[in-house]
Amino acid sequence: MERYQYDKEMCDGWKSYPIRLTTDRVSKCHGQPTVLVQSMKHGFVTANCLECGNKDYLSEAEFRSLRLIVSCPKCKQLMVPKLIDDNYSYCCEHCGLYIWLADLLPHWTDLAQ
């Protein structure tokens, strides 16, 4: 499998767009929705409280149950959720490409507090 990486300028554009992906759970601290964000370099994703930004881990089961459709940038077929090198990823079994979930999410510092 080969990691597909988008052009940095394109990636920065949609990461800053005000649409956010949430989970079904609420935060333990404020009972608010949790927003998925890239927490660190190298693809680590957390679910952060929308009110204060406190982070909580996103389980593999939660990742796999996300209602997110990702199409392969090369062949346009539906990609499947998989864990690759400890990172939540979407994979194209036809092309052998994968995309980190983190590449599709805003960085935690971009959340409005």
- Of the two residues 15 and 1, the one the predictor is more confident about is 1
In sequence order, the 6+-apart residues with CB closer than 8 A to the CB of 45 are 36, 37, 38, 39, 58, 63, 87, 88, 101, 102, 105
Asked if the model's pLDDT at residue 2 lies above 90, the reply is: yes
Label the pairing between strands 2-3 and 97-100.
Answer: parallel
Main-chain phi, psi angles of 5, to 5 degrees: -125, 130
The model's pLDDT over 52-79, given as tens digits with 9 standing for 90+, comes to 989 999 999 999 999 999 999 999 999 9
Mean pLDDT of the chain: 89
Strand order, beta sheet including 45-49: 22-26, 33-38, 45-49, 55-57
| Total Cβ atoms within 10 A of residue 11 | 13
Higher pLDDT, 88 or 110: 88
Name the one residue in this structure whose structure tokens are 């693809």: 43
Q: Does position 113 have pLDDT exceeding 60, yes or no?
A: no
pLDDT score at 112: 61
